[in-house]
Structure 1
């Protein structure tokens, strides 16, 4: 069941929170994470004590504010709940991937070392380049999940900023 089917109300019409969720998450794509390290005010804000001012000035944060500016409290709460649920699910997956990447290679290496014994060192020396390519290829998985998790948490943070400012205006 996709998000559209999951987000349909009893009358078959999509709930507004799902439309807003899709638009909001598009502002925080995983592919733009690495380049954003170098040009966003939020990335410069990771020095010192204030991690919020730069975060608030990010273009993606400003677009999220604009997107949710006129949204009623109930719909905003639903979008915030979707973001929180997404962040929890991202965290679960990231933990599973990290644990797997930490335990499986160590277990396999120990098993191969037990079977091959002294021949393991020569096997590694003979296939050093292939081993490095394999290790780098396998590292892409956890890095991708870490980036997705970061972005999911970033969405939650932006929604917290929006809620703070909405409450302050009320």
Structure 2
């Protein structure tokens, strides 16, 4: 499972600097994401800086709700924002996922090419627990989760872009 990857790339009708603002506005993620219902900065941090921490809460279709701690590993305004996800204290646990947004201007000035990626591992995760509970279906479980992540990433990016465009009108 470690290294399993999901990625989407979409072109949106939003300038790169405006999309960066949305991607890094943790207070709004619950408005856009089908899975992440909340995110907020921790420990006095208030914006995307390498080393900054935030918490996030996710709700899954089966009703499971999780809370994680994330540490920013990339913050290159307005092109790159990434973080690692921990089930507990980052000082004592291995991260179980890395998320990243790469933004680049598209052919038109008012467009952005958005690439969002997810890489699993190496730490323990819900996906790993599901595979341990049903090893005969490990491949199908992993593929199902990666497909779900791609759908959720696409839905989130599209919702962000719609929201930004609606505020410009």
Q: TM-score, normalised by structure 1?
A: 0.29
Point out the structure with the larger strand share: 2
Point out the structure with the larger helix share: 1
Larger Rg: 1
